[in-house]
Structure 1
Amino acid sequence: MNMTNDDNKKDKSKKSDKILGNIVLMILVAVVIVLASSSFKSSKATSTVATTTDTEAQKNADVKASNVAAVNDYESQLENELKLTLEGIQGVGKVQVMIYSESGEESVPAVNVNDSNSVTKEDDTTGGTRNITQANNGSTVVMSNDGNATAPLIVKKIKPIITGVCVVAEGSGVKITELRIRQAVINLFNLPESKVNVYPMNK
């Protein structure tokens, strides 16, 4: 009789140990799953931030590239127009022109501005209250699609400031012709006389 009671106690002890072991195992598996999922989410978030940063960098690079191209186009156009104008003056003949500018033409892209303000009211231990205002400022460059090409949407162009002009002309060896060239350039670009250089062309 005593032997049977001892056996029952041992069986019950084995069953309770087995149940306890299963519970511990389930808790460990749950902890591993939670850690793995949180790690996956954080790596995904990091990847998203990196992609966003790369996109913004690409947009800024596109804006700079378009600004450089616009500078070259504007200066070339201005020089050609001045050359044609001066060659139309009597006695000037062939002309070569060089224009100096303080800065290049600046293209101003359209920008989406996302500004938000939040006010938090806090009570301190002495019974007073204070308001904490937090401002979040953000902006993104607006891109336009033209077929397969994507470029910043330009809303305004700021022309460069002309600081000097050099003119080489066939007829500038004659004083009156040189004065006509100089006066034309001064009036066209609103420059002081010291910033306009006129030289005879080498024959």
Structure 2
Amino acid sequence: MGNSKIKNDLANLINNKKFLNAVVIALILAFVLLAISFLSTTRKKDTKESLSTNVSNSNSLEEGAKNTIDNYEENEKQELTKLLGTIENVGQVEVMIYFKTGEVKVPAIEESIQEAVTEETDSQGGKRSTTQQTGGSKVVMSGDSGKNEPYILQVNKPEINGVLIVAEGATSAKVKYDIQVAVSSLYGISLDKVNVYPMKN
């Protein structure tokens, strides 16, 4: 008796449309919740990976810029030392260059201007025209080899603020002046920014 009653109750439940609808709705809700949970976890992972990639790219760019400036400074010192050493009576030379700014990269800029003209007529037949301009500019990006970076039009080398030179022949006023004129002409800086001192014996 007990078994047949349970079977009848189950059969009634299965045949009951309200019960079946409730079960279907519960299954759909469970599936939707699982899908949302999975998607949000994936997005969090992608965001974390993207942030860590951006930070590492930023660090590598800063490091690359510093290395470029250091290399430029070292090359300039070596070239200037070599050049000054070839001037008559200058002798041995030590050079120190002071930079006002770092290397400046000039990106390509795209400018867009939009103009909208509005004409209004009032109740007495008078007309009024309004012109409104909106514009903006954005940096042009280039996507070479999978990297999305600004398109650089030109690179301005670091600006030199002053030069300090210690030379063996700088005890002579003529040699000192020759060095000042040569460096001033070479870097386009004024004579007062080129300091020349005699080397200690």
What is the root-mean-square deviation in Å for CA atoms of aligned residues?
3.4
Aligned to 1:98: 96
What pairs with 1:79-98 in structure 2 (closer than 5 Å)? 79-98=77-96
Q: Following TM superposition, where does structure 1 have runs of at least 4 consecutive aligned residues deviating by more than 3 angstroms?
A: 11-23, 106-111, 137-145, 152-156
State the Cα deviation string for residues 42-90 of structure 1 (Å, max 9, x = none). Answer: 2212322332233233222222111111101111111111111111111
Match of 1:3 in 2: none
Which amino acid letter does the alignment assign opposite residue 189 of structure 1?
Answer: Y
Distance in 2 (alpha carbons) for counterparts of 1:14 and 1:168: 103
Q: Distance in 1 between matches of 2:172 and 2:143?
A: 54
| Unaligned residue ranges in structure 2 (runs of 5+) | 1-6, 111-133
1:81-137 alpha-carbon deviations (Å, 9 max, x no partner): 1111111111100000000011122456899x9xxxxxxxxxxxxxxxxxxx9x9x7
CA 1:31 to 1:154, structure 2 compared with 1: closer, same or farther past 3 Å?
closer
**Which residue of structure 2 aligns with residue 185 of structure 1?**
183
Contact 2:141-2:150 within 8 A present in 1 as well: no
2:107–2:139 CA contact under 8 A, matched in 1: no
Taking a change above 3 Å as real, the CA distance of residues 177 and 168 of structure 1, as seen in their structure-2 partners, is: same
Residue of structure 2 in register with 1:176 after alignment: 174
After TM superposition, the structure 1 = structure 2 runs for residues 27-106 of structure 1, keeping only pairs within 5 Å, are 27-106=25-104
Matches within 5 A, 1:131-146: 142=143, 144=145
109 and 144 in structure 1: CA distance in 2 versus 1, 3 angstrom threshold: farther
Report if aligned partners of 1:59, 1:141 keep a CA contact under 8 Å in 2: no
Which residue matches 1:194? 192
Give me the whole-angstrom Cα distance separating, in 1, the residues matched to 2:58 and 2:169. 47
The runs of 5 or more residues in structure 1 that have no matched partner are 1-10, 114-132
Q: State the secondary structure of the residue aligned to 1:98.
A: strand
Does structure 1 conserve the Cα–Cα contact (< 8 Å) formed by 2:142 and 2:151? no
Question: Secondary structure at the residue paired with 2:177?
Answer: helix
Q: How does 1:112-151 map to 2 (within 5 A)?
A: 142=143, 144=145
1:24 counterpart = 2:46:
no
SS in 1 for 2:98: strand
TM-score, with structure 2 as normaliser: 0.68
Distance 2:10 2:183 in 1: 106
Choose which of 142, 158, 181 in structure 2 pairs with 1:160. Answer: 158
Distance in 2 separating the partners of 1:57 and 1:138: 21
Q: Which amino acid aligns with 1:27?
A: I
CA gap of 1:56–1:159, structure 2 versus 1, over 3 A, is: same
Distance in structure 2 (CA, Å) of the matches to 1:166 and 1:15:
100
